[in-house]
Chains A and B, each alone.
Chain A
Amino acid sequence: MLLYVLRRLLTAIPTLFVIVTLAFFLIRVAPGGPFNQERGLSPEIKANLEAQFGLNDPLWVQYLRYLKNLSQGDFGPSYNLPDFTVGELFAKGLPISIQIGASALVLALLLGTLLGIVAALNQNRTGDYAVIALATAGSTIPTFVIAPIIQLVFGLTWKLLPIGGWGDGALVNKIGPVLTLALPQIAIVARLMRGSMIESLRSHHIRTARALGLSDWSIVVRHALRGAILPIVSFTGPAAAALLTGSIIVETIFAIPGVGRYFVDAALNRDYTLVMGTVVVIAIFTIVFNLIVDIMYAVVDPRVRYD
């Protein structure tokens, strides 16, 4: 098992390398540069700035330099937020994004699984239809509609929650963003869980368990759930990577100072180092969570072995 994890981590390095290379050259091929947008920048000053950041060197020199710095954990300075390095920006924003994303993920997993089980146990009855309706709504209504509606209903009409802002991480400030992020995920989890639970309940070992006279609770929780949880496990990997690295919509609407905005802003401003930093962070999260998912497979399902 340990060997497997080590091997996976080693194979992650070339994957990361390919992603970094691809992203580096893609963003550099794009027309424009980090200092083109600033107005009234005289050509001399622009040239000086570019020289300072080494942007005049041949592209491959810059690429090698970036790789060298990256391997030492140095993401470089941000071009458009000149007081910060990319590392500092992430150190500040990432914990916030992770808090919101992780809460949403946990909420989605708990509530989604529960709803899925309820639906599966009441197949083709009222409870089932209610869950299906909720799941359809959750997966159809886009986040940028859910978020302002939550603001409107809970913030403005009922005045239960603040409309936005981080408020130094107060609980009430997190409820809106977490709900917005979680709703679509709840829909997906509930749908997955319903499907796999229905299948699991039909399987032979459940019939045997029923024949043995086990209680409903024990059948569902101890026997059916174990078999049915696998699709949820594989859903969790990519979902966690996406949720924890921040959502631009939610962070923009609720004015959360996370890292979700960086990607789009940086790409539009040609803030090369920040774009690259975001790509690397997202890639690392994706790789790590996919690894965790694969390990979880072996934990949940003893038939899966890694030797």
Chain B
Amino acid sequence: MTEAVVTAAPPVVGRSLWGDAWARLKANRAAMVSLCYLVVMAAVCIAGPWFVPHTYTTIYSDYVRIPPSFSAYPKADMIQGALDDVLKRMRVDVKEWKQDGERVIVTVTSTRPVDERYLRYVDRSDTFDGARVEATSPDGLQMTFSAGVKQQYFLFGTDNVGRDLLSRTLMAGRISLAIGLLAGIVAVVIGVFYGSAAGFIGGKTDEVMMRIVDVLYSLPFIFFVIMLVVFFGRNFVLMFLAVGAVLWLDMARIVRGQALSIRRQEYVQAAEALGVGPRGILLRHVIPNLLGPVVIYMTLLVPHVIILESFLSFLGLGVQEPMTSWGVLISTGAKNIGSANWMLLFPAFFLVSTLFALNFVGDGLRDALDPKDR
């Protein structure tokens, strides 16, 4: 007798809403590329400033508004100028100078004895370091010294006062992204609580709560923001919390609408009939179903906030110097396009590419999470 071998069919694994959405998102190439881009952008902006050899506030007065370059500064023709500057401060005349590999050898004369402490001026310059006396004439009126030429890289060039634009752009990215996220979360939290309360309680309360939203809606948005600036001053953390608090209106409307429609669904009625309490319905049905639109709206809100922040900074109302953001950089760049277009182009590229990526991710999420599409 042969034993019947019973092989159980492998259990069908049901896909959850989120698993399904993730699968759909993964199939969307634009969204995935954008997502990776955003991760890289965030990582570069967060970690980058620690790896760039310049800090975002250091002023290199020898390198004001120099164009971006892959090769090191100073360029050959810049040494003369930097040297002249230093020697003017030392109040000595140059007799001759020549470059010897990484160092310059300079012979100077003066009507007074040349003190070797004058060499501090050389070290203080952005171009030279490690100055040392090579020889002094017997009467002390002539001295030969040598100094190393500092090799510095400014991949993105420098700005109006000689600050490295790469470190400033990355720092600005930190601020812009952080503000976008911070204000976005504030808006979503307020909006979700307000909207779901209005939608869930319903009736008169809902009516009143939504009329308040309508009234706030009808005020010109920029008026609102300027009033916030007027009240909160230019403290930017506080202000962007406030901006987040302005942007919750859309969220509240969306969430309320969703909450209302979810409450009327048959599965909620079925749950009610089975004796599930309001808490259970809220946790099991309303909130999970709300999450989709909330996530979509959040990804669309973040670029909105970043634009708003840049706009305010552009007007001089947002982030203040020496702290910086993409809006601040673009604003100064726009004022200097004639002489230094890199000051506009680099920050603008960072901002616009981030906005694009956020948009594609938002669209991808909407396609992935929108149940009407299936």
Contact surface of A with B, Cβ cutoff 8 Å: 19, 22-23, 26-27, 30-32, 136, 140-142, 144-145, 147-149, 151-152, 156, 163, 248-249, 252-253, 263-264, 267-268, 279, 282
Residues of B within 8 A of A140 (CB): 303, 352, 355-356, 359
Residues of B within 8 A of A152 (CB): 337, 341, 344
Residues of B within 8 A of A30 (CB): 227, 230-231
0/1 string, B32-57, CB within 8 A of A gives 1: 00000000000000000000000000
Give Cα distance in the complex from A267 to B344, angstroms: 28
Q: Does B307 count as interface, using CB distance less than 8 angstroms?
A: yes
Give Cα distance in the complex from A148 to B310, angstroms: 14
Contact surface of B with A, Cβ cutoff 8 Å: 218-220, 222-223, 226-227, 229-231, 303, 307, 310-311, 314-315, 317, 327, 330-331, 333-334, 337-338, 341, 344, 348, 351-352, 355-356, 359
Residues of A within 8 A of B219 (CB): 19, 22-23
Q: Dominant SS at the B interface?
A: helix
Give Cα distance in the complex from A140 to B227, angstroms: 26
**Do the beta carbons of B356 and A136 come within 8 Å of each other?**
yes
**Do the beta carbons of B223 and A268 come within 8 Å of each other?**
no
Give the A-B contact count at a CB cut-off of 8 A: 83
A-B contact pairs, 14 of them (CB 8 A): A22-B219, A27-B227, A30-B227, A30-B230, A31-B231, A140-B352, A144-B314, A144-B331, A148-B337, A149-B348, A151-B334, A152-B341, A264-B226, A267-B223
Give the nearest-CB partner of A23 in chain B.
B223
**Do the beta carbons of B355 and A268 come within 8 Å of each other?**
no
Give the nearest-CB partner of A27 in chain B.
B227
**Do the beta carbons of B220 and A32 come within 8 Å of each other?**
no
Give Cα distance in the complex from A204 to B82, angstroms: 78
Give Cα distance in the complex from A295 to B155, angstroms: 58
CB-contact partner of A263 in B223, B231, B334, B352, under 8 A: B223
Q: Dominant SS at the A interface?
A: helix
Residues of B within 8 A of A141 (CB): 352, 355
Given A148-B334, A249-B311, list of 16 further CB < 8 A pairs?
A26-B223, A30-B227, A30-B231, A140-B359, A142-B307, A142-B311, A144-B311, A147-B334, A148-B337, A151-B337, A248-B222, A248-B315, A264-B315, A264-B317, A279-B220, A279-B223
Known: A144-B330, A148-B334, A152-B344. A263 touches B222 (CB 8 A): yes
Give Cα distance in the complex from A30 to B227, angstroms: 7
- B315 CB to nearest A CB, Å: 6
Residues of B within 8 A of A249 (CB): 311, 314
Give Cα distance in the complex from A149 to B331, angstroms: 12
Give Cα distance in the complex from A147 to B314, angstroms: 13
Give the nearest-CB partner of B224 in chain A.
A26
Known: A140-B355, A144-B310. A268 touches B230 (CB 8 A): yes
Give the nearest-CB partner of B348 in chain A.
A145
Give the nearest-CB partner of B363 in chain A.
A136
Give Cα distance in the complex from A136 to B331, angstroms: 23
**Do the beta carbons of B227 and A267 come within 8 Å of each other?**
yes
CB-contact partner of A32 in B222, B230, B311, under 8 A: B230
Give Cα distance in the complex from A156 to B339, angstroms: 10
